[in-house]
């Protein structure tokens, strides 16, 4: 099964839509609740990163009998220092984003913590790709 969603930068009202839809599908497939929780947390964090930092993004989800693979691709500024961005609490979010309660610097660390595997590719001035993998069995 494949699902695709579009994310608009700056649109905090709709952040969480893809993760909500994926949660519904995983529940219908009777996936373990702990796995669903981990997938939803990781995807939501990736969505908020796109909304807070990029101009636009795409979420591609592929679900098979053994795993869920999620690829979040954005068109944005990219990440100049991945090691620094992976440190809990480090954030480049604007003051206005932080005043809304986002941009605490936990996005990438939470994605890593809630996935079985995570890959990150980024190019400054172009954008970022985050691939997440969670196994069902």
Q: State pLDDT tens for residues 61-99.
A: 999 999 999 999 999 999 999 998 988 888 877 788 877
Strand partners, 59: 5, 72
Q: Which domain holds residue 25?
A: 2-135
Q: State pLDDT tens for residues 101-115.
A: 777 777 899 999 999
This prediction has a pTM of: 0.93
Separation CA 93–CA 90 (nearest Å)? 9
CATH number at residue 128: 3.30.565.10
Q: Please tell me the total count of domains within the chain.
A: 1
């Amino acid at each position: 099964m494949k699902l695709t969603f579009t994310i608009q930068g700056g649109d905090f009202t709709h952040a969480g839509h893809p993760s909500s839809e994926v949660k519904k599908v995983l529940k219908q497939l009777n996936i373990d609740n702990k796995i669903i929780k981990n997938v939803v947390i990781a995807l939501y964090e990736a969505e908020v990163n796109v909304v807070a930092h990029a101009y636009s993004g795409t979420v591609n989800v592929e679900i098979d009998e053994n795993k869920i693979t999620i690829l979040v691709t954005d068109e944005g500024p990219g990440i100049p220092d991945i090691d620094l961005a992976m440190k809990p609490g480090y954030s480049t979010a604007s003051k206005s984003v932080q005043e809304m309660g986002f941009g605490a610097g936990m996005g990438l660390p939470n994605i890593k913590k809630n996935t079985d595997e995570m890959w990150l590719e980024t190019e400054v001035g172009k954008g970022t790709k985050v691939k997440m993998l969670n196994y069902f069995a």
